[in-house]
Amino acid sequence: MPKINKYENIDNVEREAKKDLIDRHSPFITVEGVAKKGEMLAVNVKMGQEYTHPDDFDHFIESITLFNGDTKLASASFVPGTLGNEKSHCEVTFNIRPMGKKLNLTAHGYCTKHGIWESTAVVVEVTE
């Protein structure tokens, strides 16, 4: 089983190099709009908030995966050069259709050099 790194609030970190490492490898979830049962909902996952990630041949974000609890909802894969071989925020919007009363969303981002990184969970109430 690979190690899963978890996001830690970079405001609590003293060393700039560690802030950079944590932030640029962590997925951040944003839900666009109101979640209504049976209707499409846009869920955006962005790698890093303040710091950008390399897009080099041997160091890039290879995939972003979205989960609802233990259930995998969606995944996107990338190849080196997707971001023009420049440091950037790898980002994807998944369109999902919630059917339950609540979503417990987490995301994993996979860096080819630094492994799997997990977001902070985002709980979304679903209206009828």
Top CATH class, 4-125: mainly beta
* pTM above threshold 0.85: yes
Band of residue 1 on the pLDDT scale cut at 50, 70, 90: low
Distance of CA 114 to the CA centre of its chain: 15
Check whether 126 has a pLDDT greater than 80. yes
Distance CA 82, CA 46 (A): 15
Residue 19 exposure: Cα atoms within 13 Å on the Cβ side? 10
Distance of CA 83 to the CA centre of its chain: 16
pLDDT tens digits for range 101-113: 999 999 999 999 9
pLDDT tens digits for range 59-99: 999 999 999 999 999 999 999 999 999 999 999 999 999 99
Distance CA 112, CA 114 (A): 6
Burial 61-71 (b: 16+ CB within 10 A, else e): bbbbbbbbeee
